[in-house]
């Protein structure tokens, strides 16, 4: 079921999010943007590229005056400035000029890296986001955040670079591995938890269809997430306020991601961070005990972790302070829940409360 949303309608940085079942509608969408006859580079990673770069190229046969593919090794550890330099060198080699186009084909890492390359090459060229992971479809491809990690700091170097188009081909989810799919579900549930209680209920009632990846159901779910994300980024494009609510589960989540050396997927860490944040919300008398346990247990049927072994709570606490968001603030802006569907920012979460949240997700036999 094809559908279209328009972000920033009739304003600066207007772009469409197209939800389609294949790549067939892409040339027409790019034509409307005046991209026919330009040069383009598909930036992808060595996992997604193997599956979809050829298919994408075929669907764009004859559309661009030159179409190239640049591939980098998959994974968060490659989301760095060395990868950016290598990609920018290929742009030069292919003689891209400021009218040419980057097609970001892949998951969150590809979207961030390719988007950043497009933001800085010749002070900015067009980028089209073509997300292939559930996480990228529902979150990272929308709203223009791009960038790479720097040493221990995640997303430390980056730019806001609005895409000209987000093209979601939901059929690629068929080949997405189970862990990656689950990882995306953590971000899907986040929207329900922070801003849309009825969507949260919808997720619960469609649990089986979602797990079976029924196409209609996934399209509806992705569209709903895109609508939530659209609302937030239109209201607060540069994260001066409400957009920070999207960081629910990310403060402790990012810290665990770094502590575990990126062995866990982003969404798995977000699930753990969400459980910890919901626990802190309960302890601060925002959520009831029943609400907390219901939230925690909803991650399980989607294959997401709610506890983790071999962690060092003090180290993780320290890492929450090396989050880039903590650097420009006096205190951590922690996203907590008032109830399902309503998040708020709390700047008064103490170290003890954070440690208690981490203890809650630490796997011990007596803690299960």
Per the annotation, the verdict on 257 as an active-site residue is no
Cβ neighbours for 252, distance < 8 A, ≥ 6 positions apart: 272, 273, 276, 277, 316, 320, 354, 357, 358, 361
Given the complex with ligand GLY, which of 129 and 140 has the nearer CB atom?
A: 140
| Of the candidate residues 20, 45, 100, 139, the single one contacting ligand GLY (CB under 6 A) | 139
- According to the binding rule CB under 6 A, does residue 260 interact with ligand GLY? no
Let me know how long the chain is: 368
Distance CA 253, CA 276 (A): 9
- According to the binding rule CB under 6 A, does residue 166 interact with ligand GLY? no
Please, what is the minimum distance in Å from the beta carbon of residue 188 to ligand GLY?
13
- According to the binding rule CB under 6 A, does residue 20 interact with ligand GLY? no
- According to the binding rule CB under 6 A, does residue 143 interact with ligand GLY? yes
Per-residue contact flags (x/-) with ligand GLY for residues 101 to 120, judged by CB under 6 A: --------------------
- According to the binding rule CB under 6 A, does residue 145 interact with ligand GLY? yes
Per the annotation, the verdict on 250 as an active-site residue is yes
Q: Determine the interface stretch with ligand GLY among 5-13, 90-98, 137-145, 278-286 (rule: CB under 6 A).
A: 137-145
Structure-token pair, residue 8: 């920033």
Please, what is the minimum distance in Å from the beta carbon of residue 239 to ligand GLY?
6
Under rule CB under 6 A, which residues in 221-240 are in contact with ligand GLY?
239
What DSSP string runs through 289-354? HHHHHHHHHHSGGGT--S-BSS--HHHHHHHHHTSHHHHTSSS--EEEEEETTEEEEES---HHHH
Q: Determine the interface stretch with ligand GLY among 26-34, 135-143, 309-317, 322-330 (rule: CB under 6 A).
A: 135-143
**CA-wise closest residue to 117 among 133, 139, 101, 141:** 101
Please, what is the minimum distance in Å from the beta carbon of residue 187 to ligand GLY?
8
Given the complex with ligand GLY, which of 8 and 171 has the nearer CB atom?
A: 8
Per the annotation, the verdict on 247 as an active-site residue is yes
- According to the binding rule CB under 6 A, does residue 246 interact with ligand GLY? yes
**CA-wise closest residue to 306 among 314, 317, 295, 316:** 295
Please, what is the minimum distance in Å from the beta carbon of residue 131 to ligand GLY?
12
Please, what is the minimum distance in Å from the beta carbon of residue 100 to ligand GLY?
26
Please, what is the minimum distance in Å from the beta carbon of residue 114 to ligand GLY?
16
Please, what is the minimum distance in Å from the beta carbon of residue 129 to ligand GLY?
12
- According to the binding rule CB under 6 A, does residue 243 interact with ligand GLY? yes
- Residue number, nearest CB to ligand GLY: 246
Per the annotation, the verdict on 325 as an active-site residue is no
Given the complex with ligand GLY, which of 17 and 70 has the nearer CB atom?
A: 17
- According to the binding rule CB under 6 A, does residue 274 interact with ligand GLY? no
For 234, counting Cβ atoms within 10 Å of its Cβ (0-12 exposed, 13-18 middle, 19+ buried), the class is middle
Q: By the 8 A CB rule, do 163 and 144 touch? A: yes
Q: By the 8 A CB rule, do 313 and 252 touch? A: no
Cβ neighbours for 355, distance < 8 A, ≥ 6 positions apart: 313, 314, 317
Cα distances (angstroms) measured from residue 16 to each of 166, 214, 318, 324: 6, 24, 40, 30
Given the complex with ligand GLY, which of 215 and 239 has the nearer CB atom?
A: 239
Size of the site for ligand GLY (CB under 6 A): 7
What DSSP string runs through 165-220? EEEEEGGGGGGS-HHHHHHHHHHHHHHHHHH-HHHHHHHHHTHHHHHTT-HHHHHH
Residues involved in catalysis? 123, 145, 187, 229, 239, 243, 247, 250, 254, 266
Q: Which residues bind ligand GLY (CB under 6 A)?
A: 139-140, 143, 145, 239, 243, 246
């Amino acid at each position: 079921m094809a559908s279209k949303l328009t972000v920033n309608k009739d304003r600066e940085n207007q772009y469409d999010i197209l939800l389609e079942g294949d790549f067939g509608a892409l040339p027409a969408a790019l034509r409307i943007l005046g991209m026919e006859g330009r040069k383009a580079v598909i930036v992808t990673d060595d996992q997604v590229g193997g599956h979809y770069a050829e298919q994408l190229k075929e669907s764009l046969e004859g559309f661009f005056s030159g179409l190239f593919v640049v591939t980098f090794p998959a994974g968060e550890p490659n989301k760095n400035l060395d990868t950016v330099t290598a990609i920018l060198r290929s742009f030069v080699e292919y003689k891209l000029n400021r009218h040419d186009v980057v097609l970001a084909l892949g998951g969150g890492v590809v979207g961030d890296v390719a988007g950043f390359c497009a933001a800085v090459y010749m002070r900015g060229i067009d980028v089209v986001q073509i997300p292939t992971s559930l996480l990228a479809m529902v979150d990272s491809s929308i709203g223009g955040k791009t960038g790479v990690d720097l040493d221990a700091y995640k997303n430390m170097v980056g730019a806001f670079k609005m895409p000209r188009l987000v093209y979601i081909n939901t059929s690629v989810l068929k080949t997405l591995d189970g862990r990656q799919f689950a990882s995306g579900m953590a971000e899907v549930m986040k929207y329900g938890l922070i801003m849309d209680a009825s969507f949260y209920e919808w997720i619960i009632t469609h649990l089986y269809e979602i797990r079976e990846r029924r196409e209609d159901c996934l399209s509806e779910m992705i569209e709903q997430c895109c609508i939530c994300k659209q609302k937030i980024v239109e209201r607060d494009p540069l994260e001066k306020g409400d957009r920070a609510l999207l960081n629910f589960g990310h403060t402790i989540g990012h810290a665990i991601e770094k502590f575990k050396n990126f062995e866990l997927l982003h969404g798995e860490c977000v699930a753990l961070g969400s459980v910890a944040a919901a626990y802190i919300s309960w302890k601060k008398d925002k959520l009831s005990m029943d609400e907390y346990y219901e939230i925690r247990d909803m991650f399980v049927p989607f294959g997401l972790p709610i506890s983790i072994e071999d962690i060092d709570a003090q180290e993780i606490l320290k890492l929450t302070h090396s989050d880039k968001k903590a650097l420009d603030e006096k205190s951590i802006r922690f996203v907590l829940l008032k109830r399902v569907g309503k998040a708020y920012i709390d700047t008064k979460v103490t170290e003890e409360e954070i440690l208690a949240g981490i203890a809650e997700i630490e796997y011990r036999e007596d803690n299960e």
